[in-house]
Structure 1
Amino acid sequence: MSSLATIQKNGNEMSTSKNATRRSNASLPSFSSWVEDLFESGMGTGFMSNFNTGMTLPAVNIKENAEEFFLEIAVPGMKKSDFDIDVDNKILSVSSERKEDNTTEEGNYTRREFGYASFKRTFTLPDSIESDHISAKYEDGILTVHLPKKEEAKEKPAKRINVS
């Protein structure tokens, strides 16, 4: 005697009969079609667009106070000489390109390791930045770009006006 009871699980109907179980498994996607669907979805596209390109974008914090802005860019493992920082037409560009090639020859074998990494971040500067006085320093894996504000853009302290 076959018992057939339909129950709800995660919004889908499930049957407890053996024949119904076989039929429901037939509608499950195969592993290869599941992988294809995964990479055709938005997640897969975004993942594959940056896969194996040697490009990663470092995290950036932007801080502001009354006098200036600071960009803090997390780029560990670099040297000061690895960075190119340019200002052109109110666009600040921070980029780096690093190539490594290590070859070791011992006895009858050669070991060669090489790598490539690069990034470029651009920022549109507001009119309030004094672009002639932008400076940068690199310390403990953080590149800090100092963007001072023009004198007229600096916040003035509150002022009380007496009525006469």
Structure 2
Amino acid sequence: MTLVKWNSNGNANPAFSNLLENFFGKDLGEFVGRDYATTTPAVNVVETKENFTVEVAAPGLKKENFQINLNNNLLTIASTYEKSNEEANGKYTRKEFGYTSFQRSFTLPTTVDSSKIEASYKEGILYVYLPKREEAKEKPARQINIS
């Protein structure tokens, strides 16, 4: 027995059939474009001797689009961006709008000095700097003399 895809309209209008199949078979973001999807950007966390750095890839956004909150030891990075475009030309008006948002939360280790957290946004990447407490910083190796 072979499974055969059935088309209820008898292929009377294959273009319409393909449109419906594409619409219902894909994620909304894939069908209508990135501006209409809720996305979660890629995040890198880099640890050095002095600090942790959280790097959030968010090209096209502005620093005003971000909210960074610290509640106890939970760091939350969020962004909301709305875009609207309206074009009027004689007999018709075309209006398109988009909404993009994301939120990422991170539980900070006790080694982070939360009073010194800073952030910057450069060339599409949000950087959040999480300095380590002095007592948590890696100390250089030293030799212990025997008495």
TM (norm. structure 2) is 0.77
- The two structures have a TM-score, normalised by structure 1, of 0.70
Match among 123, 139, 142 for residue 156 of structure 1: 139
Residues 1:29 and 2:3 aligned together: yes
Structure 2: 5+ residue stretches without partners: 7-24, 30-35
Larger Rg, first or second structure (1 or 2): 1
Which residue number in structure 1 is paired with residue 102 of structure 2? 119
**Which consecutive unaligned segments of at least 5 residues does structure 1 have?**
1-26, 33-46
**Partner Cα distance (2:136, 2:28) in 1:** 43
Map of 1:132 onto structure 2: 115
Alignment of 1:40-55 (within 5 A): 51-52=28-29, 54-55=37-38
Structure 1 67/81 Cα, relative in aligned 2: closer, same or farther at 3 Å? same
Pairwise CA distance, 1:153: 0.6
* Pairing partner for 1:70 from 32, 53, 68: 53
Question: Which protein has greater RCO, CA pairs closer than 8 Å, 6+ apart?
Answer: 2
User: 2-side partners of 1:154 and 1:114: how far apart?
Assistant: 48
Q: 1:103 aligns with which of 83, 86, 89?
A: 86
Q: Deviations over 1:129-162 (max 9, x none)?
A: 1111111111111111100001111111111011
Matched positions, count: 123
Q: Given residue 64 of structure 1, which amino acid in structure 2 is its aligned partner?
A: E
Q: How far 1:51 sits from its partner (Å)?
A: 4.1
